[in-house]
A and B are shown apart, each in its own frame.
Chain A
Amino acid sequence: KQEVTQIPAALSVPEGENLVLNCSFTDSAIYNLQWFRQDPGKGLTSLLLIQSSQREQTSGRLNASLDKSSGRSTLYIAASQPGDSATYLCAVETSGSRLTFGEGTQLTVNP
Chain B
Amino acid sequence: GAVVSQHPSWVICKSGTSVKIECRSLDFQATTMFWYRQFPKQSLMLMATSNEGSKATYEQGVEKDKFLINHASLTLSTLTVTSAHPEDSSFYICSAPPETRGGYEQYFGPGTRLTVT
Which A residues form the contact surface with B (CB < 8 A)?
31-32, 34, 41-44, 46, 49, 51, 89, 91, 93, 96-104
Does B105 lie within 8 Å of A49, measured CB to CB?
A: yes
A96-B49, A97-B97, A98-B34 known; A42 vs B110 contact (CB < 8 Å): yes
Does A89 lie within 8 Å of B110, measured CB to CB?
A: no
Does B46 lie within 8 Å of A100, measured CB to CB?
A: yes
Q: How far is the CA of A50 from the CA of B57 in the complex (A)?
A: 27
Which residues of B have CB within 8 Å of A96? 49
Categorize the interface residue count of chain B: 20 to 34
Which residues of A have CB within 8 Å of B106? 34, 46, 93, 97, 99
Q: How far is the CA of A99 from the CA of B49 in the complex (A)?
A: 11
Does A43 lie within 8 Å of B43, measured CB to CB?
A: no
Interchain Cβ contacts within 8 Å, total number: 49
Does B111 lie within 8 Å of A43, measured CB to CB?
A: yes
From residue B98, how far is it (CB to closest CB) to chain A in Å? 8
- 27 A-B residue pairings within 8 Å (CB atoms): A32-B103, A34-B105, A34-B106, A41-B91, A42-B111, A43-B93, A43-B111, A44-B44, A44-B108, A46-B105, A46-B106, A49-B103, A49-B105, A51-B102, A91-B44, A97-B97, A98-B34, A98-B46, A99-B34, A99-B46, A99-B106, A101-B43, A101-B45, A102-B43, A103-B42, A103-B43, A104-B43
Our pick among A51, A97, A99, A104 for the contact of B32 (Cβ within 8 Å) is: A97
A42-B110, A43-B111 known; A97 vs B43 contact (CB < 8 Å): no
Which residues of B have CB within 8 Å of A91? 44
Which residues of B have CB within 8 Å of A103? 42-43
Does B34 lie within 8 Å of A97, measured CB to CB?
A: yes
- Which residues of chain B from 84 to 117 have a CB within 8 Å of any chain A CB? 91, 93, 95, 97, 101-106, 108-111, 113
Our pick among A31, A49, A89 for the contact of B44 (Cβ within 8 Å) is: A89
From residue B10, how far is it (CB to closest CB) to chain A in Å? 9
Residue of A nearest to B57 (CB): A96
Q: How far is the CA of A32 from the CA of B101 in the complex (A)?
A: 11
Extra pairs beyond A49-B103, A98-B34, A98-B49 (7, CB < 8 Å) = A43-B109, A44-B108, A89-B43, A97-B97, A100-B46, A101-B43, A101-B44
